[in-house]
Amino acid sequence: MENFRRIEIHYVGNVQGVGFRFRARNIAQDFDLTGFVRNLDDGRVHLVAEGEKEDLISFLREIDQTMERYVRDKSVVWTKANNQFVTFDIRA
């Protein structure tokens, strides 16, 4: 279970209104991750995901490749997973 991790990411840039949340959800489902993605009032996108470390790394890589033209900056924080999610959802 030591390989089970959590990431929390804030994406900055032109990340709202471009399908970011839907793409992130679809990619997360490909990797069997749980968590959520949502738009923030300040224009950023907030993403939290839990899963196997290798899957999270691959997930991040695919998000970066798919959405690179929209992302100006991001902050990623790795922590221990707490198993609070059942699926990966889009939140309002």
Residue 6 is among the residues annotated as catalytic for this protein: no
Residue 21 is among the residues annotated as catalytic for this protein: yes
Indicate the helix (H) or strand (E) that contains 25.
helix 20-30
Residue in 14, 23, 38, 39 annotated catalytic: 39
Contact 83, 50 (CB under 8 A): yes
Contact 46, 90 (CB under 8 A): no
Residue in 5, 6, 21, 25 annotated catalytic: 21
Report how far residue 71's alpha carbon sits from residue 35's, in angstroms, rounded to the nearest whole number. Answer: 20
Q: Residue 88: which of 48, 34, 42 has the closest Cα?
A: 34
Catalytic residues: 21, 39
